[in-house]
């Protein structure tokens, strides 16, 4: 959520930046400013009337104590009008604030100046491509066939006990999951992230804090009985750890990592590209989250991007880094890098990580502040990224490492899997 004061002071810039994100309702900006104007006017009226009523109440108290009952009654008689006005202004204010809020949550975050213009994924900018695209023999298998061949994943069994998109990992497939999770966590800890283990369900306030609510409820599983949402990513609980928190300057940067399963309804996605592990309702992911001083957030974003890249390099995966164009970015992000690995058997890129700087978009909702050098409270910047999401990593590992002998496990993973070959 953008700050109203920022919108007021930077109206033209806001409009210009929103255009980069292909925002369709630029009129909202002026509507918000107008609503804020009337909010202020109403508040002045309310405050002034309340001040009069408060001081009258004080006088009455004093008079009563001194036994001057009649004088007190005289003043009391005058309070009725104030009371009515206060109620009226309060109601007005509540209505104004509500419609201000309703409009404010419709505004996406402003994209960073480096974000390319564009609407479709094709317009994302390739920042770098690592190495050459791996070539596989013509008879190379896609991962879902490899998973069946080596009995790593049982999709049918998942359908039986839950439904499509909930695979059952078996044998070395299950071991590989656990190995990857531990590898990613260990690497994150080496990079200075503190591991946390968080709830997999969150309340509405948390959903709001990171920007999933309102609006994206359709993408989350919801437990109606207890009003809880299954997390779509660990970003939600980990970032919300710092909701309503004022950090000391020396507590920044906060660096947390954690592994969780992620649950996504993925309503409306069908077709060939969702086959196998490409798109699931439940998958495992290690997430890295930082809360930082705004001055450093773009340096931190680069560091996080490099951390993710180092994981891909260690796993020996061919990848590229994209800077998302305005139209392809998420609602709350100011700058996002996507990492994609090349699926040689599917002959296409698979998104395996997304690293974003949210600037104050989340912290404004979270009321996540820190005390700056002047001792004043200031909104912190939040960032997060997948490091990494498992299924597509597994998919490309299986596909790209397939040989006549079986599937070669990357060397860095062997201490975790305790086997070198899947065969």
Partner RNA sequence: GGAGAGGUGUCUGAGUGGUCGAAAGAGCACGCCUGGAAAGUGUGUAUACGCCAAAAGUGUAUCGAGGGUUCGAAUCCCUCCCUCUCCGCCA
Binding footprint of RNA on the chain (CB under 7 A):
4-5, 36, 40, 43-44, 46-48, 50-51, 53-58, 60-61, 64-65, 76, 79-80, 83, 94, 246, 369, 371, 377
- Residue whose pair of structure tokens reads 């002071």 in the numeric block: 9
Query: Whose Cβ is closer to RNA: residue 83's or residue 194's?
Result: 83
Which DSSP string corresponds to 76-134?
A: HHHHHHHHHHHHHHHHHHHHHHHHHHHHHTTSPPPPPTTPPP-SSGGGSEEEEEESPPP
Structure tokens at 65: 């104590």
Query: Whose Cβ is closer to RNA: residue 76's or residue 243's?
Result: 76
Residues in contact with 338: Cβ distance below 8 Å, sequence separation at least 6, in sequence order: 124, 321, 322, 324, 351, 353, 354, 355
**CA separation for the pair 37, 398 (Å, rounded):** 59
Structure tokens at 314: 């260690």
Query: Whose Cβ is closer to RNA: residue 85's or residue 420's?
Result: 85
Q: Least distance in Å: CB of 32 to RNA?
A: 12
Give me the helix-helix angle, 27-65 and 69-104, nearest 10°: 160
Q: How far apart are the first and last CA of the chain?
A: 51
Residues in contact with 303: Cβ distance below 8 Å, sequence separation at least 6, in sequence order: none
Q: Least distance in Å: CB of 204 to RNA?
A: 11
Q: Least distance in Å: CB of 254 to RNA?
A: 18
Q: Least distance in Å: CB of 60 to RNA?
A: 3
Q: Least distance in Å: CB of 49 to RNA?
A: 8
Length of the chain: 423
Query: Whose Cβ is closer to RNA: residue 53's or residue 141's?
Result: 53
Query: Whose Cβ is closer to RNA: residue 32's or residue 277's?
Result: 32
Residue 379 CB neighbour total at 10 angstroms? 19
**CA separation for the pair 271, 128 (Å, rounded):** 29
Query: Whose Cβ is closer to RNA: residue 265's or residue 371's?
Result: 371
Q: Least distance in Å: CB of 54 to RNA?
A: 4
Q: Least distance in Å: CB of 332 to RNA?
A: 19
Query: Whose Cβ is closer to RNA: residue 81's or residue 119's?
Result: 81
């Amino acid at each position: 959520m953008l700050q109203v004061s920022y919108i007021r002071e930077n109206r033209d810039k806001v409009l210009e930046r929103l255009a980069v994100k292909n925002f369709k309702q630029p009129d909202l900006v002026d509507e918000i400013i107008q609503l804020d104007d009337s909010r202020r006017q109403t508040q002045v009226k309310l405050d002034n009337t309340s001040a009069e009523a408060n001081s009258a109440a004080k006088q009455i108290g004093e008079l009563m104590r001194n036994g001057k009952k009649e004088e007190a009654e005289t003043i009391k008689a005058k309070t009725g009008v104030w009371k009515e006005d206060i109620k009226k202004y309060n109601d007005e204010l509540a209505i104004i604030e509500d419609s201000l809020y309703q409009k404010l949550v419709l505004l996406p975050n402003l994209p960073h100046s480096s974000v390319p213009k564009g609407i479709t994924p094709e317009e994302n900018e390739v920042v770098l491509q690592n190495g050459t695209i791996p070539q596989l023999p013509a008879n190379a298998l896609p991962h879902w066939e490899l998973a069946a061949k080596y009995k790593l994943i049982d999709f049918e069994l998942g359908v039986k006990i839950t439904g499509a998109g909930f695979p059952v990992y078996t044998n070395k497939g299950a071991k590989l999951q656990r190995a990857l999770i531990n590898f990613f966590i260990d690497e994150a800890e080496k990079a200075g992230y503190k591991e946390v283990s968080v709830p997999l369900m969150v309340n509405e306030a948390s959903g709001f804090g990171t920007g999933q609510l309102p609006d994206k409820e359709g993408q989350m599983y919801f437990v109606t009985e207890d009003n809880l949402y299954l997390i779509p990513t660990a970003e939600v609980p980990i970032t919300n750890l710092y909701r309503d928190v004022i950090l000391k300057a020396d507590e920044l940067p906060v660096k947390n990592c954690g592994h969780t399963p992620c649950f996504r309804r993925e309503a409306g996605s069908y077709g060939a590209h969702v086959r196998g592990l490409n798109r699931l309702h439940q998958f495992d992911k290690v997430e890295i989250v930082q809360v930082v001083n705004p001055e450093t957030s773009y340096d931190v974003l680069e560091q996080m991007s490099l951390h993710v890249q180092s994981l891909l390099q260690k796993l020996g995966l061919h990848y590229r880094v994209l800077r998302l164009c305005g139209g392809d970015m998420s609602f709350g992000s100011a700058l996002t890098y996507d990492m994609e690995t090349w699926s040689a058997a599917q002959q296409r890129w698979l998104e395996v990580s997304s690293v974003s700087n949210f600037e104050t978009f989340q912290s404004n909702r979270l009321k996540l502040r820190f005390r700056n050098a002047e001792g004043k409270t200031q909104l912190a910047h939040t960032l997060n990224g997948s490091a990494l999401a498992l299924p597509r990593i597994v998919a490309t590992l299986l596909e790209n490492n397939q040989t006549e002998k079986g599937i070669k496990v990357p060397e860095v993973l062997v201490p975790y899997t305790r086997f070198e070959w899947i065969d």
